[in-house]
Structure 1
């Protein structure tokens, strides 16, 4: 097969069913900018390489498919690192394709001063990726890219880096290496499966804890059915919001950080943990007591055992294992009683929210009542986003992108670019005034590509979460009160329609309904200051 290295790159991406990539052109990667569109791959240009990484992540979270970032050498590649770290912490299948300096100019052990040269560009990505590769010959481009893409998608998914010396893109390249067969996931041990089923059948108060691995495996329906059979409440992590529908009789719809939901954990005599690692942000830094008995379902035994060691590990795909547990599971009594209790917990938590933070209650209610059914919410690291990640009733899987893997400020708006290209609904970004300024230049991308995005900027004049921390500790407010621009005027300077309201009342609802049904990008600025919710660390109730 004849052609250039850039064409082989495009062929490999096509084999991986990539139809869109995000990037920024540079002198070293220009051949890719010609080759990818020629193969039918949309290459969406951003204004900063970090945005390319976040956009690829947003696309991956929304679709479950491979998100691709195409960036140039040296500083261009390095600019993606924060976004790649977030993708790793959130297990997003992102492929970073970066050029490197020409192979003919590289001298091992010496940095010669070539344009964009790094002593070891691949090594930059080692701490924040699942794997990293550098292509050593033009003929290897296709095989390395195929391998990297499949590795990124393979559970547990995560970002993978591929570096390609820039001269390889223009050279003649073949594809002599056959595609590797898809690796089969480990099959669950039958004896362990039978033991787990017996433990669940005889449990008095079973509980299901569903994590991001369960959502990514498409295990939601099986999880919901198993919960009904067991009459077991389902607690979801940030990464699995929406895995069971809001009206499911076993869904605990509020975060485990509330005492009312936390009591379900404390009472459980058996916890079935599906696709989770029990990270610090969900467990209040492991102040939650270890379950009396813990059954873990996970593709990675080390991941399953690193925080709360399980009594029984079912190694395998979350959906397959859950479906096999479900097969033949008898119906336990108590489903109606559980449903009534969860309704009462929901009522008590909502009353608490209305009493402690009526503006947050109004904000959550406005979103729930006005957003289109197909909207995808994208949160940034801000107080409004924390309320969203913990308390919003997410309607379906992959309808909330929340960066509580690494906790990366500035994620929201650039990730929305990727969400908006997925064709699954309007991206609605909830961000603060501080986080929005990280990537505000991407307004140019949004208008140039006419992306279906509504950005809701909650403007409290600075870093509201940090201001709260300082005030609570009795410290003066230093570094948290910011000079911010006229966001409405700024958006309009890009040609984007924008408006401003005070608070989350009727005017906010009216404009949010109007904005989220538009055909073009827009920005809605809300002047409001919210207090942090119970799922933020200063307010954790376990001490």
Structure 2
């Protein structure tokens, strides 16, 4: 092939990795990347803010399970991605951030000279929010290093990786170098398998708790079969929504924050935890009591044990480990299904009694969303209702920023899920979160991505307003006069309409919008009370 520029080495490596879509923002330092990628089959979607590039790459990664790629420029351009990269890290989304750095010829070790966009150590900015970081030291290192970074990002436990390239290397030429060999397979240790099978076989009230690691490994069918043999309810975390189909006989209603569902945890004598670290949001800050016996399945032994130490630990890929667990089939499946159905009815009845608007919102989404729709939620009250109670029909149909809790995630991440080509993206956002990235309505219009934005306009930060109200405090900093969101969207060339509340007009308009071939924004004037899965409403309390 002969010598290639550094930018061409980036393009070659991304092509070899099977990259179909990348998200980026051009800058003076990374313009050669745009030229090089124009001669590949990779779709490079230009966005209006680097944080959008990071979130869109995250949304793409969650929807597909493949590497999400963000291409950004030096210094402030790279720094603008940090919030998005932190969310990807907390949610184990495989994202590769390729950022330029100042030209190597202008850097002087130990001195910040004032070069345009210079930082003392750009890679170090990313250290707390990435699995790893790399900075290439010569143009011929670009291809092999990019391969190494991409493989690390996608290797369990997946997560974001930073790659820095001094700007001058993108124009330098160098011969092609072979990529490094694939990494070693993750460690497997199932030495306690026999003891685990005996414990599960003898359990009177077994329970399966499945997390994001179970979903990412594709363990849903294996977990479903095991649950049926054990007659064990399956509780799924926010990250595992859709792991089992709603009609599965063992799927427990969501969420565990509902007392009716939490009782399943409290009465279990053995819990099989698969691909989870039992974070604070799911366990009500670890006020759920440790079960009498806990079995953990995880690719990372430390991750499995950091919150609830297991009595037995099986280390390895969730699907592969669950498939080798062999237990005899026990009777009682119809009775379990009837019990779970009854719990679900009680949960839904309470929603209808306590917050009828939320009940209307949930029932409408269940009715009108296409089967292949991917729902992307922001940190907003409507999103909390979705994360807790919507019944997702398949894995990777829900992206939710509950890893780090980053406001402003929903709309930019929905651009990435839509670009993945798996179905229409339905973004549910509050007015506050949408304003973080509303400039990327320009991207939505330019790329004609299949996105429907459901923008719930309650004139402020509804969750914070609720917190102040509960504390008996006046509202401070949480209210504003909303802009004309319909006019804003239309000014970018995106069709938009407004309805009041979640009644018939909302149902009719949303049904029309999700059938459209074009992007659109449906603004809903409404105020929702937060659900029981938000921390102010947790029913478990620390009385110390």
Band the TM-score falls in, shorter-chain normalisation: over 0.9
1:204 alignment counterpart: 204
Cα shift at 1:178: 4.0
2:342 alignment counterpart: 344
2:158 alignment counterpart: 157
1:296 alignment counterpart: 296
2-side partners of 1:71 and 1:173: how far apart? Answer: 22
CA contact (8 A) 1:498 1:525 kept: yes
Task: Report whether the alignment pairs 1:451 with 2:449.
Answer: yes
2-side partners of 1:181 and 1:287: how far apart? Answer: 42
CA contact (8 A) 1:414 1:439 kept: yes
Unaligned runs of 5+ in 1: none
Secondary structure, aligned partner of 2:209: strand
- What TM-score, normalized by structure 1, do the two folds share? 0.99
1:69 alignment counterpart: 70
2:188 alignment counterpart: 187
1:249-274 CA distances to partner (integer Å, 9 max, x unpaired)? 00012100000010000000100000
1:41-69 CA distances to partner (integer Å, 9 max, x unpaired)? 11100000000000000000000000000
1:475 alignment counterpart: 473
CA contact (8 A) 1:277 1:306 kept: yes
Cα shift at 1:34: 1.0
1:408 alignment counterpart: 406
Alignment partner of 1:385 out of 363, 374, 383: 383
2-side partners of 1:273 and 1:173: how far apart? Answer: 49
Please list, as runs of the form range in 1=range in 2, the aligned pairs for 1:136-535 lying within 5 A after superposition.
136-189=137-190, 191-325=191-325, 328-535=326-533
CA contact (8 A) 1:8 1:174 kept: no
Cα shift at 1:177: 4.3
1:211-267 CA distances to partner (integer Å, 9 max, x unpaired)? 000000000000101000000000000000000000000001210000001000000
CA contact (8 A) 2:207 2:270 kept: yes
1:20 alignment counterpart: 21
Task: Report whether the alignment pairs 1:43 with 2:44.
Answer: yes
2-side partners of 1:79 and 1:68: how far apart? Answer: 15
1-side partners of 2:166 and 2:73: how far apart? Answer: 10
2-side partners of 1:179 and 1:7: how far apart? Answer: 18
2-side partners of 1:462 and 1:11: how far apart? Answer: 46
1-side partners of 2:222 and 2:322: how far apart? Answer: 6
Cα shift at 1:483: 2.1
1:46-97 CA distances to partner (integer Å, 9 max, x unpaired)? 0000000000000000000000000000000000000000000000000000
2-side partners of 1:149 and 1:181: how far apart? Answer: 11
Secondary structure, aligned partner of 2:23: strand
CA contact (8 A) 1:90 1:403 kept: yes
CA contact (8 A) 1:256 1:282 kept: yes
Number of residue pairs the alignment of both structures matches: 540
CA contact (8 A) 1:19 1:41 kept: yes
1:479-506 CA distances to partner (integer Å, 9 max, x unpaired)? 0001210000111111111000001111
1:262-305 CA distances to partner (integer Å, 9 max, x unpaired)? 00000001000000000000000000001110000001011000
2:126 alignment counterpart: 125
- What TM-score, normalized by structure 2, do the two folds share? 0.98
